[in-house]
Structure 1
């Protein structure tokens, strides 16, 4: 028996990276999965976003665990599209037990030089996208008086970061949104938490544009330069693998996680030692 037998999980940003890892981890514990992802470019994002082929690959990996998986091409920036994803999940499986509001993007610029579109894309995806996901699923969970919700923030949701003010603002906002929703849903038996990882080894970080943002003092930095930067920090400060985040989420959405509510759980290799 698995920890999530016959549960239904809706995961945004599920085509690859952390979302894919979460989908496979939860399905291996008995959950059926509904995935959504934009699966197309966003102009201000300096690296390739996921594709429909990526979505199909995640479906394949979930089905290999013996569970069902439905994939929907949808943009978390759109309230109506997220409502449609939730409706599809309920139509296919009858309910939604778990929501992982995981979709996110990254880009880099100083506040003094950042253009309006880069700011707006970040807020629309990384903050409003979480709100739209909550708004699509929460009424259903209230009706059922049951549910587990986890949103992906970041260690920078507790600190500042140069050349990432828009990203930082969105991730701080996610923590505030989670804590507020957790209070609202206490009477309904629904838990709401956030995970705040440091750098995770996914396509969002593993690309030349983000290497340059993270190591601005080196011309044309490589992955090795980024890893050296992390290695110079605290022990165990290297890039996190997605499975580490997935295992934390599995705890939060399982029965063993019922007493976690309104939490902002950091996975930072020591970075959080310098935050409150």
Structure 2
């Protein structure tokens, strides 16, 4: 089967899909033949994203920080698409800089979306995948999950937690034919970089130490297209010029 049809017949759902890594992942999966449900709270951006991808892309407007909407996500995806083969938990927030400068509200929102929502979303889609005896779950982690990055202690801590979640859940569900893995990119050109400390962002831009979202999506597709007997549990990717 050609790469263009590697996901033919499969249905994927991606959170945070209206832009950045989520949109790039959706684009790659549509090109590979999948039907993709794009989940995001930004209705206008989601409509533009789906229009650009064509009829294989379906929008699902959800605010995952709303407890009720978060809980209803799996049911709404299944009602809309009929089945689910791939779930990419990608939505996230960023808090960088010195801990003493971070507000309680910003910390609460980031930990809720980066950790709690991911856990709830994965828990929500698992019964369907277990019943079918197959599925792929990919979580967008970060290079910060593998290095105690001093300029982003709150964000890095959330990604360390989610990497533990990925590795432990994988051990619980592989017996059901479900693969679970994490993609951990270094700094990617997305809207999240707007929240980086200004000096670090300028340093990365000046040195060419940034990754395109499309490059992350190519690796996600690589993970999804391995033979079923192979799980890519973790991939860390970074710009060649990134000094960490």
TM over 0.5: yes
The residue that corresponds to 2:17 in the other structure is 14
SS at match of 1:112: helix
In structure 2, the CA distance between the partners of 1:6 and 1:140, relative to structure 1 (3 Å rule), is: same
Structure 1 residue 107, shift from structure 2 partner: 2.5
Residue 58 in 1 paired to residue 49 in 2?
A: yes
Contact 1:185 1:191 in 2 (8 A): yes
Partners in 2 of 1:32 and 1:98 — Cα distance?
10
Gaps of 5+ in 1: 40-51, 216-222, 232-237
Contact 1:77 1:128 in 2 (8 A): no
Deviation digits for residues 214-255 of structure 1, max 9, x if unmatched? 25xxxxxxx5x5311x44xxxxxx210111111111111224
Instruction: Determine which of 23, 26, 29 is the counterpart of 2:29.
Output: 26
* Structure holding more helix per residue: 2
Question: Bigger shift: 8-17 or 158-167?
Answer: 158-167
Partners in 2 of 1:240 and 1:272 — Cα distance?
10
Residue 267 in 1 paired to residue 237 in 2?
A: yes
Q: TM-score, normalised by structure 2?
A: 0.91
Instruction: Determine which of 181, 200, 206 is the counterpart of 1:214.
Output: 200
The residue that corresponds to 1:218 in the other structure is none
Q: 1:102-251 alignment to 2 at 5 Å?
A: 102-205=90-193, 207=194, 209-210=195-196, 212=198, 214-215=200-201, 225-228=203-206, 230-231=207-208, 238-251=209-222
Partners in 2 of 1:213 and 1:91 — Cα distance?
46
Contact 1:14 1:36 in 2 (8 A): yes
Contact 1:76 1:132 in 2 (8 A): no
Partners in 2 of 1:247 and 1:103 — Cα distance?
18
In structure 2, the CA distance between the partners of 1:10 and 1:213, relative to structure 1 (3 Å rule), is: farther
The residue that corresponds to 1:253 in the other structure is 224
Point out 4+ residue stretches in structure 1 off by more than 4 angstroms: 270-274
Instruction: Determine which of 28, 34, 38 is the counterpart of 1:35.
Output: 38
In structure 2, the CA distance between the partners of 1:70 and 1:269, relative to structure 1 (3 Å rule), is: same
Structure 1 residue 160, shift from structure 2 partner: 1.4
Structure 1 residue 211, shift from structure 2 partner: 5.1
Calculate the aligned-residue CA RMSD, in Å.
2.1
Contact 1:251 1:257 in 2 (8 A): no
